[in-house]
Amino acid sequence: MRQIIPNVYTFDNLIMGRVYLIDDGGELSLIDTGLALAGDRILKQITDSGRQIAQVKHILITHAHLDHVGSLDKLKAATGAQVIASAEDAPIVEGKQDPPLPDRKTLPFPHNLIPVSAKAASKTPVDRIVADGDTLPGGLQVIATPGHSYGHVSYYHPALKLLFTGDVLFHMTGMGLPLRPATPDMEMNKRSIGKLCAFDIEIACFGHGQPILRGAGDQIRAFARKLGVA
Ligand SMILES: [Zn+2]
């Protein structure tokens, strides 16, 4: 894993779906869990950093897609950490519902050809349900950013001006919208991007793509203006 800023890290070689680690005085929180193959890699990178698996106390889920909850079952079993998610995505995290997807017939070419799994990818009970405005241990604040999933949340650290976006925004070749065939309500997702303009953000950590370490809020506002939601 590599440091983004002091006490905030991201993991290497997870293929898809970025996972973050926050070290709050030795109490560790994970943001998302990556694909199923990521579990062993995450655990090894934590121990390789000189930390103990038992130090992981919280697993914060942005949304219940397979590249974000794919190794949740394994990481919950290994750590016993408290699992945190929104009420709307909790039944999907728990494997009781499959993730809602847009009607494939409504998608224009080539979006209609991109394969997206419509099956729940974890079955771990959620220990704590969070909603917009809630504050979590370590000072993270929940921002509801629905659209890519109906219960999608971002996590914001006001003191660090740091935002974990989840998939409300991608940062692959510049800033972009999430994958359309995996986003049941793109207009709602755009409004969620507009909502982020109100926050003082310097650093953005994305579910896909490289973090932005400086001036992230300005870039988000510029993108929101382009979308007409700023
Ligand atoms: Zn997603």
Q: Is residue 182 part of a domain?
A: yes
Binning pLDDT at 50, 70 and 90, where does residue 112 land? confident
Contact by Cβ (8 Å): 161, 201? yes
- The residue-averaged pLDDT of 114-128 equals 92
Ligand 1 centre and the CA of 60: distance in Å?
A: 14
How many structural domains does the chain have? 1
Whether the per-residue pLDDT at 140 is higher than 90: the answer is yes
Q: Tell me which amino acid residue 223 is.
A: F
Does any domain span residue 126?
yes
Domain-located, residue 149: yes
pLDDT of residue 105 exceeding 90: no
CATH number at residue 181: 3.60.15.10
Q: What pLDDT sits at residue 108?
A: 82
In a domain, 60, yes or no: yes
Pairing of strands 128-130, 82-86: parallel
Bridge partner residues of 84 (DSSP): 60, 128
Q: What is the mean pLDDT of the chain?
A: 96
50 C-alpha vs ligand 1 centroid, how far in Å? 31
Distance 67 CA to ligand 1 centre (A): 7
Is 90 exceeded by the pLDDT of residue 116?
A: no
Return the percentage of the chain with pLDDT > 70, whole number.
Answer: 100
With respect to residue 151, please indicate whether it lies within any of the assigned structural domains: yes
Average pLDDT rounded to a whole number, residues 102-125? 87
In this prediction, residue 107 carries a pLDDT of 85
Residue 78 lies in a domain: yes
Q: Compute the distance from residue 69 Cα to the ligand 1 centre, in Å.
A: 10
Is 90 exceeded by the pLDDT of residue 138?
no
Confidence label for 93 from pLDDT (cuts 50, 70 and 90): very high
What are the tens digits of pLDDT across the range 146-182?
999 999 999 999 999 999 999 999 999 899 999 999 9
Surrounding ion ligand 1 within 5 Å at CB are 65, 167
pLDDT band at 114, cuts 50/70/90? confident
Residue 152 CA, ligand 1 centroid: distance in Å: 9
Peptide bond into 110 cis (omega under 30): yes
Average pLDDT of the segment spanning 55-80: 98
Tell me, what's the pLDDT at 113?
80
Residue-level pLDDT at 79: 98
- Which residue range forms the structural domain that includes residue 86? 2-98+118-227
Phi, psi dihedrals of residue 11, rounded to the nearest 5°: -90, 155
pLDDT at 106 over 90: no
The reply to whether 112 falls in a domain is: no
Residue 30 to residue 51: CA distance in whole angstroms: 13
